[in-house]
Amino acid sequence: MSALGVGLSAVPASAHTPTWTVSCSEVSLDLTAYGNSDKNTVTVTVDGKDLLPTTNFRNDFHKKLELPEHTSELKLHLSVKAADGDQFSKEDDKVAPVCEDTPPPSSEAPAPEPSDADTPPAEETPEPAPPASPPQAEEPSDSASEAVPSSAPSAAGGDLAETGGSSATPLIAGAAAVVLVAGAGIMWAARKRRSPQS
């Protein structure tokens, strides 16, 4: 009878099956055959923070928990307390790896940036063309200004200075005529005086 009692007491012990799996994105819990007591509890923590706060369950407990996004490994801890004794409880640690899908998005983001950087230089290249035209406009203005002073001295040049007397020529001619008339008058008067003496 004592052997039979030992065998019966061993059955519940082997019936407790705390199974849990961890991936890069989630935790899967499968706890079975824990009896009908509602004092069975399960807790899951991530780096010391509750992912699944302490929860009571009867006999079986099945749940999937999503892990937060992470760029480094996460340390997970499972704590199962059996209502029928600490010998059936379970404390276990696992590590959640980094998902391989998370790095590519960050690497794809920089890719569009170089393409944006390539477009601005293309817009800058047409700008240098306009500056070439202003120097050409300045050159003719310089040549025109140079041509004006060269023509100005020639217009006011020696011809006008030399022939400036030509504007006074009528006066000179008039004076010369007066002198001639006066000389002729003097000669005529002198002859008249000589003629009676003779």
Asked if residue 90 has pLDDT above 60, the reply is yes
**Mean pLDDT value across residues 105-126:** 53
Asked if residue 65 has pLDDT above 70, the reply is yes
Residue 41, amino acid: T
74 secondary structure, DSSP code = E
Q: Report the pLDDT value the prediction gives residue 32, as an integer from 0 to 100.
A: 92
Extended beta strands in the chain, E state: 17-22, 26-32, 40-46, 49-57, 61-66, 74-81, 90-96
Give dist(CA 132, CA 134) in Å, integer.
6
Q: Report the pLDDT value the prediction gives residue 122, as an integer from 0 to 100.
A: 53
Q: Report the pLDDT value the prediction gives residue 81, as an integer from 0 to 100.
A: 93
Give dist(CA 57, CA 125) in Å, integer.
72
- Model pTM score: 0.45
pLDDT, tens only, 117-168: 555 555 555 555 555 555 554 554 444 444 444 444 544 445 555 555 566 6
Q: Report the pLDDT value the prediction gives residue 75, as an integer from 0 to 100.
A: 95
